């Protein structure tokens, strides 16, 4: 299955536009996402892995959160910072961030920041073990 960038980029741009118009199309202000799904089932594209693309507008800081799932984030474009358990790391194009289970995790975009992520959240959901919480 091929997921064409021009289609993903168009969906993400439309979501951010809707958010700018005051419609609930984003995760939080300046932060949206699209998940990759199987066209046959509408479920996650991979049975044991969740795959998503997250753009953040310049100046956006995500809320700190924790989850029982682990995730890996690849910086596709832009610069910013990643905060894990109060440790701040500068990130830029090509960097990879590994966020272990139950680690407080937040992102800040200095300029527009585009990230691809994959996680084992789908496995935790199927086992009814996915937990999320505030990262503070």
Render pLDDT for 36-85 as a digit per residue (tens, 0 to 9): 888 889 899 999 999 999 999 899 999 999 999 999 999 999 999 999 99
Task: Supply the pLDDT for residue 1.
Answer: 65
Q: Are 41 and 17 in contact (CB under 8 A)?
A: no
For residue 84, the number of C-alpha atoms closer than 13 Å in the C-beta half-sphere is: 16
Q: What is the pLDDT of residues 5-44, one digit of tens each?
A: 787 778 777 777 776 666 666 677 777 888 888 888 989 9
Q: Could you tell me the CATH superfamily of domain 60-136?
A: Jelly Rolls (2.60.120.10)
Q: Which helix (H) or strand (E) holds 126?
A: helix 121-126
For 96, the token pair is 């990879």
Distances (CA, A) of 34 to 16, 88, 107: 11, 26, 17
Does residue 18 contact residue 29 with C-beta atoms inside 8 Å?
no
Domain range annotation of the chain: 1-38, 60-136
Task: Quote the pTM value.
Answer: 0.86
């Amino acid at each position: 299955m091929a997921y064409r960038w021009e289609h993903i980029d168009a969906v993400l741009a439309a979501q951010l536009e809707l958010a700018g118009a005051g419609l609930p199309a984003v995760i939080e202000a300046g932060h949206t996402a699209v998940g990759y799904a199987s066209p046959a089932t509408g479920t996650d594209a991979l049975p044991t892995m969740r795959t998503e693309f997250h753009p953040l507008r310049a100046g956006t800081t995500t809320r700190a959160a924790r989850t029982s799932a682990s995730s890996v984030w690849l910086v596709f474009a832009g610069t910013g910072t990643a905060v894990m358990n109060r440790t701040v790391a500068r990130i830029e194009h090509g960097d990879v961030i590994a966020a272990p289970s139950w680690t407080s995790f937040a992102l800040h975009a200095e300029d527009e920041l585009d990230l691809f992520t994959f996680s084992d959240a789908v496995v935790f959901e199927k086992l009814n073990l996915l937990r999320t919480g505030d990262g503070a």
